[in-house]
């Protein structure tokens, strides 16, 4: 057997995990990388008598916004809240999708509401529907806008995600050993726990990072439209302005978007950070992905590995051109 077939290590997944871990360390201990506070304003540089916004320099790695707040510091402080929001929605979509897919497969039913939801997200751009709902005035200004935010994004992402999970879980339930387990008298729960769940790990190893990437992308896109977990406004003699004390990347995009031409750094660097996060999650997902469904179902689960190694999800020879049908054909 080819050596690479049972390789449990994936360089891509490792790099992705390393990047995310780096982000987490910075986010949890901001003082390691910055000595500014997230609201601290650098009002004037006496050396050359200039006022903010300051450009990229040794003092401000990503420059400052128009108030002199260091953008790098804001980004660093924004990492954990962003990942927290994403985690809430990933956990919701994943749990709901798996439960619904298992119920649909187990009892051979189609839940009409779920079907309609999936259909809706397959014919209208989901982000447009999110905007239509989240920009409703009572929702936008609600004290519970964060819950609306989680719920609307979660539900519409669920609609997009369910057909994928449904198809994969149906594939597991079609396996001959499930039928054998039914014949020998296993209960549905026992079969699920002993056979189905065990085969779901590799799928989950791919779903989790790809859902993170997807939800972060949606959060970022909504951020440009001013849709964030908590929009705050300040009314003064000069008029109303969008302000927010919360620090997450979508809010930074939302704030930076208002001064796009005066301070491009305010949009550029948060976007870059968010993109880097998304790329890292995509790397993990790619590392965890199998080349084809057949391969996935043939070679899993690998019992001799601890669970955390399995999460890194091996790539088989196909990805490296080892035993690919095209290569075999030659």
Establish if 185 lies at the interface with other proteins (CB under 8 A): no
Binding mask of the shown chain, residues 280 to 299, with x at each position contacting other proteins by CB under 8 A = --xx--x----xx-x-----
- Which listed range, 32-40, 59-67, 237-245, 302-310, lies at the site for other proteins (CB under 8 A)? 237-245
Q: Which of 28, 51, 136, 182 binds other proteins (CB under 8 A)?
A: 136
Q: Which of 86, 89, 274, 284 binds other proteins (CB under 8 A)?
A: 274
Establish if 135 lies at the interface with other proteins (CB under 8 A): yes
Minimum CB separation of residue 215 from other proteins in Å reads: 11
Q: Which of 8, 38, 81, 221 binds other proteins (CB under 8 A)?
A: 221
Contacts of residue 38, defined as CB under 8 A and 6 or more positions apart, other chains included, come to: 30, 69, 73, 74, 77, 247
- By beta-carbon proximity to other proteins, the closer residue of 70 and 265 is 265
Establish if 230 lies at the interface with other proteins (CB under 8 A): no
Buried b (16+ CB within 10 A) or exposed e, 233-248: eeeeeeeeeeebebbb
**For 60-68, which contacts have Cβ atoms below 8 Å and span 24 or more sequence positions?**
62/265, 62/269, 63/263, 63/265, 63/266, 63/269, 64/265, 65/255, 65/256, 65/259, 65/263, 65/265, 65/266, 66/259, 66/262, 66/263, 67/41, 68/41, 68/42, 68/43
Establish if 241 lies at the interface with other proteins (CB under 8 A): yes
Establish if 259 lies at the interface with other proteins (CB under 8 A): yes
Establish if 18 lies at the interface with other proteins (CB under 8 A): no
- By beta-carbon proximity to other proteins, the closer residue of 47 and 137 is 137
Minimum CB separation of residue 132 from other proteins in Å reads: 5
Exposed/middle/buried for 163, CB within 10 Å: 0-12, 13-18, 19+?
middle
Minimum CB separation of residue 148 from other proteins in Å reads: 11
Q: What is the number of alpha carbons within 13 Å of residue 291 lying toward its C-beta?
A: 14
Residue 181 parent element (H or E): helix 176-183
Ranges within 41-60 binding other proteins (CB under 8 A): none
# binding residues, other proteins (CB under 8 A): 60
Establish if 122 lies at the interface with other proteins (CB under 8 A): yes
**Of 144, 156, 138, residue with least CA distance to 222:** 156
Establish if 176 lies at the interface with other proteins (CB under 8 A): no
**Of 4, 8, 9, 7, residue with least CA distance to 317:** 4
Q: Which of 6, 146, 225, 323 binds other proteins (CB under 8 A)?
A: 225
d(CA 163, CA 155): 13
The three-state secondary structure class of 130 is helix
* Contacts with other proteins, residue ranges (CB under 8 A): 119-120, 122-129, 131-133, 135-141, 213, 217, 220-221, 224-227, 231, 233, 240-242, 254, 257-261, 264, 267-268, 271-272, 274-275, 278-279, 282-283, 286, 291-292, 294, 321, 324-327, 329
């Amino acid at each position: 057997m080819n050596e690479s077939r049972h390789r449990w290590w994936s360089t891509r997944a490792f790099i992705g995990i390393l990047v995310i871990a780096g982000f987490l360390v910075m986010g949890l201990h901001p003082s390691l990388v910055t000595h500014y506070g997230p609201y601290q304003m650098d009002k004037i540089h006496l050396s050359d008598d200039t006022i903010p916004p300051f450009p990229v320099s040794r003092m401000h790695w990503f420059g400052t916004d128009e108030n002199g707040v260091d953008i790098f510091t804001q980004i660093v402080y924004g990492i954990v809240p962003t990942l927290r929001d994403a985690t809430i929605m990933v956990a919701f979509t994943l749990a709901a999708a798996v439960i619904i897919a298992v119920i649909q497969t187990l009892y051979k039913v189609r839940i009409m509401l779920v079907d309609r939801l999936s259909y809706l997200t397959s014919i209208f751009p989901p982000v447009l529907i999110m905007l239509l709902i989240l920009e409703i005035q009572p929702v936008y200004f609600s004290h519970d806008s964060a819950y609306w935010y989680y719920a609307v994004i979660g539900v519409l992402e669920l609609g997009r995600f369910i057909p994928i999970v449904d198809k994969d879980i149906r594939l597991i339930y079609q396996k001959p050993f499930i039928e054998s387990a039914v014949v020998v008298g296993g209960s549905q729960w026992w079969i699920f726990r002993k056979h189905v769940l065990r085969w779901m790990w590799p799928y989950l190893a791919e779903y989790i990072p790809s859902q993170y990437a997807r939800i972060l992308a949606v959060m970022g896109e909504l951020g440009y439209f001013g849709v964030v977990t908590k929009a705050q406004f300040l009314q003064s003699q000069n008029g109303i302005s969008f302000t927010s004390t919360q620090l997450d990347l979508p809010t930074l995009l939302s704030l930076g978007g208002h001064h796009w031409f005066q301070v491009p750094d305010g949009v550029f660097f948060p976007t870059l950070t968010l993109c880097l996060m998304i790329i890292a999650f995509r790397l993990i997902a790619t590392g965890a992905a199998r080349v084809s469904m057949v391969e996935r179902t043939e070679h899993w689960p690998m019992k001799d590995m601890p669970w955390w190694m399995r999460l890194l999800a091996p790539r088989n020879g196909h990805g490296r051109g080892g035993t690919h049908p095209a290569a075999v054909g030659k």
